[in-house]
Every structure is written in structure tokens, then in C-alpha cells.
Amino acid sequence: MTLSPSKPATASAFHGWPGLIERYRAYLPVSAQTPVVTLHEGNTPLIPAPAIAARIGRGVRVWLKYDGLNPTGSFKDRGMTLAISKAKEAGAAAVICASTGNTSAAAAAYARRAGLRAFVLIPEGYVALGKLAQALLYGAEVIAIRGSFDRALAMVRELATQYPVTLVNSVNPYRLEGQKTAAFEIVEALGDAPDWLCIPVGNAGNITAYWMGFNQYHSEGLAARLPRMMGFEAAGSAPIVLGKIVEHPETLATAIRIGNPANWQRALAVQEASGGAFGAVSDEEILDAYRLLAAEEGIFCEPASAASVAGLLKVKDQVPAEARVVCVLTGNGLKDPDSAIKHAEAHFYQGVEPSLAAVAQVMGF
């Protein structure tokens, strides 16, 4: 077999994935003047999940939108490529966000790539190690407050009105415009929208963005139907399910440890328009899904992401027969190594003698 000779590597000969803004330019609020700040995010795989489907039965098919494969390891890159490009276009010199970790990593990476300062406020002690490591190494100016994410968000909203810094949390409309592209990719992969879309909910930006994306493709005639939007909060941090602000949210899924979501009203509108529902999943249910995803599907996501699968399994009897279901896996498991090590039901034999006999004995031979 002969390989065809490779083409010369000139800029015009680049045929790789160009990133979200170039791919979906016609559907995004950009112009020829917009400086495109990209890490070639998006184009993440939609992976069949037969082990999860088998637990539901009745011909239901399940796919996982593995957005943890984005450049900084979460779906936030989709929103940040656009938010930072637009901030740069507007002449900003600095951006700011509050974050449970992933937004700060993405904001830092894209802002620094654009030559902007990135300030991030995080709730001290409640950000997974990998996310903190990213923000620090990407060169953000990290401010850990002795308070919750909700407090940090209220503060950055205020700071952005008083100082020359652009807010890049999901209250920035460009964030949701970028994130809606995940829905486009799902429709392209399946040939239509799924019947159900299951998604973890924190600040409720992403569920809002997906709904925007599905609707846009639907009105363009690129999707024949719209999905039911199924949003899942962690039980200890479930303001939308409870219908009231949670003053002291708690969950090991720290990414969605949020008691007063910024996009609360929009999320309710999505639920109503899509005929969807919100549900709460316990930390134990999240961990069961987290381990199932890794040990039976071969997919390592972070605990908050597993809430989508935990939620689906919790309401599995309500899934119509033969339905096509997509669960969104929002972040990579490598973000939170502490949770993995602490909660793996692993076979981990330590201090074993370096002899064949000792190892064979541990192996059970």
C-alpha cells in the first residue's frame, strides 16, 4: 500500500477542523472584523453508550456528547472562544469571571492567548485540583474568596460595572451563542435532534444554550424535531428543583455547587417550551454513574458531568421505547483526580514484592 504524498504546509492548505467560529460563522454574531481567538475547540465525539442503554432496555439508544475533549477539558471553551474574541474586538484589556473551576480555566487560556489579563474569583477550597492548576499555569490572576460561587458571581457582576474588565460568565450573551454549537454537532451526527437531551445544571447557561442551538437548526430546516430538555441538579444544590435559593449548596460535584443560578428564569422557559423536566440526583447516584461511565463505557468524566447519566438512569422508566437519548458529559475526569482516587472501587494492591511469584499471587494465579 502506498501513501499519497503530503501537501505542503502553507496556511491556505490547512484542511483541519478550524474551530467553532469558522465552522459555524453563519450562525454566530461575528463579522470580518472580529479577531478569532481559537484553540480549535468543538467537534467533540458523540459516543454510543451500550452499557447505559442496556440498563434502560426497550430499544432505547443512548449517546454521550463528550465535551470533556475540548482544549481545556470542558464545554466552556465553546463559549469562551466567542466571548474572548468579542471582548478583544471591543478593545478590552482584561476579563473577569467567577467560577467553580472550568470557566476559570477556559477564560484564562483564551484570554492569555488573546493577550488579555484574566481575573478569576473562585470559592476557596471548592475547586477541583486540575482546574486550579490550569488557571494558574495559563496565567490567570486567581483570587480565592472565603465565600461561595454565588457570592463570587455577585461580586464580579459588580466589579465589571465599576472597573475596565469584561465579564465572561454565562450572563455574557456571547458565551451562550458559542455553547449552542454543541447542539449543532449533535444534530449533524444523528441526522436530527434526539428525543431527549440530558444535561447537568449549575448556573443553567448550558441548558439554555443547547435549546437555542436546537431551535436554530430546527428553524433553518436542519432538524425535523426538538428534544425534551432534561436538566439535572445535584440534590444538595438544587434551587430550580426546590423552587428556592439554596443558601449553603453542598455536593461533591463542585462544578455545579450553585445555589442561585444566573440563568434560572431562562432555564424554566426551556423546560416549558421543550416539555422537559428538572430533577435532582444525590451524590451517591452521581458517583454510581461516574464509576459506570468509566468502568463500563471507558469514559472518564468529572462528577458533575455524570449527573446527566445519573439523572437519566433515575427516570429511565419514563423514557419512551426506541427513544434516542443524548447525555452531555461537560468536563473531563482528569480535572478532578482527587474524586477519582477517593471514589474508585479499584483493585489497587500496594507494596507488592517485585517478584513474579508475589505478583502472580496478587493476580490470583
C-alpha cell recorded at residue 160: 465589571
Stretch of 99-107, 189-197, 213-221, 316-324 contacting ligand F0G, by CB under 6 A: 99-107
Closest CA relative to residue 334, chosen from 142, 128, 179: 128
- Decide whether 99 or 216 has the Cβ nearer to ligand F0G: 99
Distance in Å, CB of 68 to ligand F0G, minimum: 8
Residue 216 touches ligand F0G, criterion: CB under 6 A: no
Residue 205 touches ligand F0G, criterion: CB under 6 A: yes
- Decide whether 61 or 228 has the Cβ nearer to ligand F0G: 228
Total Cβ atoms within 10 A of residue 228: 20
Contacts by 217-221, CB closer than 8 A, 24 or more apart = 217/183, 217/184, 217/187, 217/193, 218/193
Residue 19 touches ligand F0G, criterion: CB under 6 A: no
- Helix %, strand %, coil % of the chain (to 5): 45, 15, 40
Distance in Å, CB of 199 to ligand F0G, minimum: 8
Closest CA relative to residue 305, chosen from 151, 218, 201: 201
Q: What DSSP element (H or E) covers 358?
A: helix 356-363
Distance in Å, CB of 348 to ligand F0G, minimum: 26
CB-based contact 84:111 (threshold 8 Å): yes
CA atoms of 119 and 94, how far apart (whole Å):
8
Site for ligand F0G in 275-304 (CB under 6 A): 302, 304
Q: Could you say which of 99, 134, 181, 339 contacts ligand F0G (CB under 6 A)?
A: 99
CA atoms of 39 and 365, how far apart (whole Å):
48
CA atoms of 232 and 130, how far apart (whole Å):
24
| Count of residues of this chain found to bind ligand F0G when the rule CB under 6 A is applied | 22
- Decide whether 74 or 260 has the Cβ nearer to ligand F0G: 74
Q: Which amino acid is at 5?
A: P
Angstrom CA distances, 356 to 347, 348, 349, 360, 365, stand at 18, 17, 14, 6, 11
Q: Could you say which of 70, 81, 170, 271 contacts ligand F0G (CB under 6 A)?
A: 170
Site for ligand F0G in 306-365 (CB under 6 A): 330-331
- Decide whether 30 or 132 has the Cβ nearer to ligand F0G: 132
Distance in Å, CB of 38 to ligand F0G, minimum: 20
Distance in Å, CB of 214 to ligand F0G, minimum: 16
CB-based contact 74:100 (threshold 8 Å): no
Site for ligand F0G in 235-264 (CB under 6 A): 255-256
Distance in Å, CB of 359 to ligand F0G, minimum: 38
Residue 204 touches ligand F0G, criterion: CB under 6 A: yes
- Decide whether 49 or 60 has the Cβ nearer to ligand F0G: 49
Q: Could you say which of 101, 178, 276, 279 contacts ligand F0G (CB under 6 A)?
A: 101
Q: Could you say which of 206, 216, 237, 271 contacts ligand F0G (CB under 6 A)?
A: 206
Total Cβ atoms within 10 A of residue 259: 20
User: Could you list the residues that contact ligand F0G (CB under 6 A)?
Assistant: 74, 76, 99-103, 170, 200-206, 255-256, 302, 304-305, 330-331
